[in-house]
Amino acid sequence: MIAEIGKTLVAVGAGVLLLGGLLWLSSGTFKHFPIGRLPGDILIQNEHITFYFPLATSILLSIVLSLLIWIWQSVIR
């Protein structure tokens, strides 16, 4: 059980490292990708306060991560 958790943590860490490296190397290619500025994200600006809640971005990331986890689990079995 502990060995399986360790393998999973290493795989997740390697994936995060790979994604971070790709984003770092692209350094501007994804500048125009609207993640975090999607329609449905809530932005309220006032003179003294700015409130931002990325609702649509959160939903999109949740769906993508759920699909990736579902695919990962179907490959393992």
Work out the pLDDT band at 74, boundaries 50, 70, 90: confident
Q: Are 2 and 17 in contact (CB under 8 A)?
A: no
Greater confidence, 68 or 23? Answer: 68
Angle at 73 between CA 67 and CA 77, to 5 degrees: 145
| Domain parsing of the chain, residue ranges | 1-33, 34-77
**Which tens digits make up the pLDDT trace of 46-60?**
999 999 999 998 999
C-alpha span between 34 and 53 (Å, rounded):
15
pLDDT at 31 over 80: no
Identify how many contiguous H helices and E strands the chain contains and give both numbers.
Answer: 2, 2
Residue 69's Cα: distance from chain center in Å?
Answer: 12
